[in-house]
């Protein structure tokens, strides 16, 4: 564990606290919004605006972090905004206020993502990137186990008391805020002339980036375009006969597997190669979606969610580790911010596309389409040359 530095521990605990708060609200967010008068259409618009805000801002603030030479302030501000947005959602129920609060939450994510991942990259060597990013994902996902579990227990004793959960969620968020103040930039930026950073300036990085980065990100984005929200997996389980408690239980089970496997899979990736582990993750994803298309056995769904947890542990942190290894160290936040920004937009489109296919042709067609495209993406990644570490990574 010597490669897990104090800074990595701090960032991982911050993510754990923040994800505990966010995932406490994730299962009940649509229900709460409907109780205060939001229609399905308005909920869709709300989430679309929020995700678009996060997506576009990730690239800009990643670029700003690189040009300023600062990391810690972006992490501190980003997590603070996300924490204070939770009680704001319950304070007033006016639609414009809800839009404002939800956007503040996603804006915070946009501010912190590139800088946070750049810190993680700086705390690792090219031989330990999988371990460091895997450990962080493991701790982050542990919050996704704790959060829904707390919500489930609370609602068991206080049915339909959704508003109070938004206030409770502020407390782990507050722990995250306090933890950010233990972060310090390793060195102060030199007195270099200030560089103007227009909002969409990060898009220029695409042309200047290494060829290996562009090839990798193209494959990742094509996959993301068909990798819709986990809500569709839960909806399929629900339609197959699971009750609400079993559906939430399946979601918690998936996150437990993700949390347990992320770190050991990261260790394995450093030994056998990031590319190999990532491709194995995609194979598992395709198997899960083909399985979801035909399965109706309630117990087999837990097997599929097990594989889905392993898939997540083999791709989420691994992809960022891969990116940080093939880009210049001074551009890490820009590279990851650009990718995650475009990824957020593609994710939004993916859910819309899957929803449309589901509506027109049924759940089976939606899952088969996703799995089939994933097979082509797997072939694409097999043809990409083995990643070569950038000399200044």
Q: Is residue 357 very low, low, confident or very high in pLDDT (cuts 50, 70, 90)?
A: confident
327 within 8 A of 335, measured Cβ to Cβ: yes
Asked, for residue 393, whether it belongs to a domain, the answer is no
Provide the pLDDT for residue 199: 63
231 within 8 A of 117, measured Cβ to Cβ: no
What is the Cα–Cα distance from 301 to 317, expressed in whole angstroms?
25
Of 219, 175, 186, 181, the closest CA to residue 75 belongs to 181
Mean pLDDT across the stretch 15-36? 84
| Res. 190: pLDDT tops 60 | no
| CATH code assigned at 346 | 1.20.1250.20
Q: Is residue 41 very low, low, confident or very high in pLDDT (cuts 50, 70, 90)?
A: low
Look at 11-15, 83-87, 386-390 and tell me which has the smallest mean pLDDT: 386-390
Q: Which domain holds residue 31?
A: 6-184+200-383
Report the range out of 183-187, 271-275, 340-344, 345-349 with the highest average pLDDT: 271-275
**Of 370 and 387, more confident:** 370
Asked, for residue 391, whether it belongs to a domain, the answer is no
Asked, for residue 374, whether it belongs to a domain, the answer is yes
Of 103, 114, 109, the closest CA to residue 205 belongs to 114
What is the Cα–Cα distance from 368 to 354, expressed in whole angstroms?
11
Q: Is residue 351 very low, low, confident or very high in pLDDT (cuts 50, 70, 90)?
A: confident
Asked, for residue 109, whether it belongs to a domain, the answer is yes
As a whole-number percent, the residues of the chain with pLDDT over 70 amount to: 91
Mean pLDDT across the stretch 22-42? 77
Q: What are the structure tokens assigned to 148, written together? A: 């829904």
Report the interhelical angle of 298-313 vs 129-157 (nearest 10°): 140
Mapped to the 3 state alphabet, what secondary structure does 75-130 carry? HHHHHHHHHHHHHHHHHCCCHHHHHHHHHHHHHHHHHHHHHHHHHHHHCCCCCCHH
Q: Is residue 36 very low, low, confident or very high in pLDDT (cuts 50, 70, 90)?
A: confident
Q: Is residue 355 very low, low, confident or very high in pLDDT (cuts 50, 70, 90)?
A: confident
What is the Cα–Cα distance from 205 to 208, expressed in whole angstroms?
5
- Tally the residues of the chain: 393
How high does pLDDT run on average in the chain? 86
**Of 142 and 344, more confident:** 142
Region for 160 from its dihedrals, namely left if φ exceeds 0, alpha if ψ lies in -120 to 50, beta otherwise? left
Total domains in the fold of the chain: 1
What is the Cα–Cα distance from 22 to 199, expressed in whole angstroms?
27
Asked, for residue 17, whether it belongs to a domain, the answer is yes
| Res. 191: pLDDT tops 60 | no
Look at 33-37, 187-191, 293-297 and tell me which has the smallest mean pLDDT: 187-191
Asked, for residue 239, whether it belongs to a domain, the answer is yes
Asked, for residue 248, whether it belongs to a domain, the answer is yes
| Res. 40: pLDDT tops 90 | no
HSE (side-chain half, CA atoms, 13 Å) at 51 = 19
What is the Cα–Cα distance from 33 to 41, expressed in whole angstroms?
11
Mean pLDDT across the stretch 35-60? 74
What is the Cα–Cα distance from 334 to 356, expressed in whole angstroms?
33
**Of 226 and 378, more confident:** 378
Provide the pLDDT for residue 219: 95
Mean pLDDT across the stretch 116-143? 91
Provide the pLDDT for residue 200: 63
Asked, for residue 60, whether it belongs to a domain, the answer is yes
Q: Is residue 148 very low, low, confident or very high in pLDDT (cuts 50, 70, 90)?
A: confident
| Res. 10: pLDDT tops 90 | yes
pTM attached to this predicted model = 0.84
């Amino acid at each position: 564990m010597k490669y897990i530095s104090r800074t990595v521990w701090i960032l991982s605990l911050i993510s754990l606290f923040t994800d505990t708060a966010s995932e406490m609200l994730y299962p009940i967010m649509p229900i709460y919004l409907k109780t205060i008068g939001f229609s399905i259409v308005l909920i869709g618009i709300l989430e679309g605006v929020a995700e678009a805000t996060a997506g576009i801002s990730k690239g800009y603030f990643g670029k700003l972090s690189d040009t300023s030479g600062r990391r810690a302030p972006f992490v501190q501000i980003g997590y603070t905004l996300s924490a204070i947005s939770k009680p704001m959602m319950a304070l007033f129920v006016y639609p414009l206020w809800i839009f404002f609060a939800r956007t503040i939450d996603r804006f915070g994510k946009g501010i912190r993502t590139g800088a946070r991942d750049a810190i993680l990259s700086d705390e690792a060597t090219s031989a330990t990137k999988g371990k460091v990013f895997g450990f962080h994902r493991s701790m982050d996902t542990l919050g996704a186990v704790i959060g829904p579990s707390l919500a489930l227990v609370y609602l068991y004793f206080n049915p339909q008391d959704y508003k109070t959960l938004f206030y409770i969620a502020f407390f782990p968020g507050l722990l995250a805020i306090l933890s950010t103040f233990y972060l310090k930039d390793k060195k102060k930026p030199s007195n270099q002339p200030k560089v103007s950073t227009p909002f969409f300036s990060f898009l220029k990085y695409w042309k200047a980036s290494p060829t290996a980065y562009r090839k990798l990100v193209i494959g990742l984005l094509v996959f993301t375009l068909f990798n819709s929200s986990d809500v569709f997996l839960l909806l399929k389980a629900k339609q197959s006969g699971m009750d609400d408690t079993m559906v939430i239980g399946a979601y918690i089970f998936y996150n437990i597997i993700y949390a347990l496997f992320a770190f050991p899979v990261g260790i394995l990736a450093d030994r056998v190669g990031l590319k190999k582990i990532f491709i194995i993750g995609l194979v598992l994803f395709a198997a899960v979606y083909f399985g979801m298309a035909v399965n109706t056995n309630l117990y087999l769904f837990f097997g599929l969610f097990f594989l889905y947890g392993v898939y997540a542990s083999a791709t989420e942190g691994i992809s960022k580790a891969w990116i940080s290894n093939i880009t210049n160290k001074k551009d890490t936040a820009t590279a990851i911010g650009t990718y995650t920004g475009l990824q957020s937009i593609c994710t939004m489109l993916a859910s819309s596309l899957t929803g449309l296919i589901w509506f027109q042709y049924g759940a089976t067609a939606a899952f088969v389409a996703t799995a089939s495209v994933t097979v082509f993406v797997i072939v694409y990644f097999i043809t990409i040359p083995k990643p070569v570490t950038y000399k200044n990574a």
